[in-house]
Amino acid sequence: MFAQFDNSYTRLPARFFTRVSADAARAPRLLAFNDRLADRLGITERDPDRLARILSGQDVPTGADPIAQVYAGHQFGGFSPQLGDGRALLLGEVVAPDGARFDLALKGSGRTPYSRAGDGKAWLGPVLREYLLSEFMAATGLPTTRALAAVATGEVVLRERPLPGAILTRVAASHLRVGTFEYFAARRDRDGVGALYDHTRARHYPDVATPFDLIDAVIGRQATLIARWLGLGFIHGVMNTDNTTLSGETIDYGPAAFMEAYHVDTVYSSIDSFGRYAYGNQAQIIVWNMAQLASALLMLEDDASAALPRWQALLNGMPARIDAARMAVFGRKIGLADATPDDAGLIDGLLAIMQRGQADFTNTFRALADDMNVRDHFLDPGLFDAFAPAWRARLASEADPQAVMRIANPVLIPRNHRVEEAIQAAVTGDMAPFERLLAAVTDPFTDHTAHADLKIPASPENAVTQTFCGT
């Protein structure tokens, strides 16, 4: 037996999904496998060939029931009424030995009824990129989908040039998206929205009693999530509503990237020409996305117009919730175990001089933890000299600020040029740089001498200025 499956999504009405199978893969080969995550899920299979066949969709394990889920979504603000798993299939829901339930999805498995013009495939680049980024996020304790495996298919995928095809096995608390609710709401399918609401409650929010409570709970999780993204310098890149989960996990690492020098306007995604999803816009965008979820759920109120003011007030209150979460996150980053609103000046003051001083986000915060003097990280060290006295005075009332900072500020991140380097090597058949980078970013709070080079920001020559969805 590969795993214990129980596929609750396939018990929903037929209009929620389509049964699919993966495209043939000539020579599936296991490139990376996450043993610890497999243990967590109760997957005992370790034969690489058998794993490669299952995780490329060639063999369907007992109990699995592969489907493509349908959804809709606002993409860059415009509504697409019909999206869905176009390059992924949901193999099934795994019930772990402790009873926890996880979706197992194969990303890059071939065309489905929702593929539109796409080929449903992925090449090695985006697969390894998502593997590295999501496993780093998980290692910092952030809610995220995980990577169980990367499999080379032996097929050629045509992009700007022929590239090696690959499939990522993604593990998620679920794949329920804001866009899934929008799909049924846009069709005025109240029964569909209701069934999805019941399913979401059962899966993630057993204590929720009303649609209003559900949106409140999702807002709570998303507020914390976005604050934690900001605290890592993370830029998701495609915060479309179909990439925003009900579970509160980060999902869909396409053009996602971590910034180097701090600047709120940082954008890497090649398709985000107007900076809609720039680093500093993410807190506003999530409110907008939650408003789309609210509009869909409001259908379930018997008297929607009577309910509206209360729902509106909930959404209006979200920015303050994000900001409170952001203060807690950044408070710890500067050594405050419990930051209060009075500390906002200190936190935002530091960020303002980091932006002016082009300070590397990760290295500056980590140096604060290690030796508390970071003046050399600023283009103009005087900026830090002017800031430091107030900060040190505030730290005087903290028990052990360095201990707080050391677990809030990772030593390293998957820097874009290192991710790129690992991908380029993998394309030539050399997995060593990927394995080394993965080992480093999944132990991100330990300062290993052997990983010192991975801490260094990109030079102008090897800087990656654009990232791609990788479709």
Given the complex with ligand AMP, which of 104 and 408 has the nearer CB atom? 104
- CA atoms of 319 and 341, how far apart (whole Å): 14
Least Cβ distance, residue 76 to ligand AMP (angstroms):
10
Q: Taking the complex as a whole, how short is the minimal distance between the CB of residue 102 and Mg ion, in angstroms? A: 18
Residue 73 beta carbon to ligand AMP: minimum distance, rounded to whole angstroms: 7
Q: Which residues bind Mg ion (CB under 5 A)?
A: 243, 252
DSSP state of 245: B
- Smallest CA-to-CA distance from 179 within 88, 83, 72, 285 is with 72
Strand 17-19 relative to strand 234-235, pairing: unpaired
Spot the catalytic one: 23, 103, 216, 242: 242
Q: DSSP labels for 78-146?
A: EEES----SSEEEEEEEE-TTS-EEEEEEETB---TT-TTS-SBEEHHHHHHHHHHHHHHHHTT--B-E
Q: Which is nearer to ligand AMP, 240 or 245 (CB)?
A: 240
Identify what 18 binds: Mg ion, ligand AMP, none; CB under 5 to 8 Å per kind.
Answer: none
Query: Measured from the CB of residue 117, what is the shortest distance to ligand AMP in angstroms?
Result: 8
Q: Which is nearer to ligand AMP, 84 or 248 (CB)?
A: 84
For the chain, the straight-line distance linking the first and the last C-alpha, in angstroms and rounded, comes to 33
Q: Judged by CB, which is closer to ligand AMP: 249, or 260?
A: 249
Partner touching 260 among ligand AMP, Mg ion, none, CB below 5 to 8 Å by kind: none
Give the nearest residue (CB) to ligand AMP: 118
When CB distances are held under 5 to 8 angstroms depending on the partner's kind, the choice from Mg ion, ligand AMP, none that residue 367 binds is: none
Residue of 465, 259, 244, 242 whose CA lies nearest to 360 = 259
Q: Which does 83 bind (CB under 5 to 8 A by kind): ligand AMP, Mg ion, none?
A: ligand AMP
Q: Which does 157 bind (CB under 5 to 8 A by kind): Mg ion, ligand AMP, none?
A: none
**Do 172 and 103 touch, CB atoms closer than 8 A?**
yes
Find the DSSP H helices in 187-301.
190-204, 211-232, 282-297
Which CB sits closer to Mg ion, 252 or 360? 252
103 is catalytic: no
Footprint of ligand AMP on this chain (CB under 6 A)?
83-87, 114-115, 118-121, 238, 240, 243, 252, 254, 469, 471
- The residue count of the chain comes to 471
For residue 86, the minimal CB distance to Mg ion (Å) is 9
Q: Which residues are tagged catalytic?
A: 242
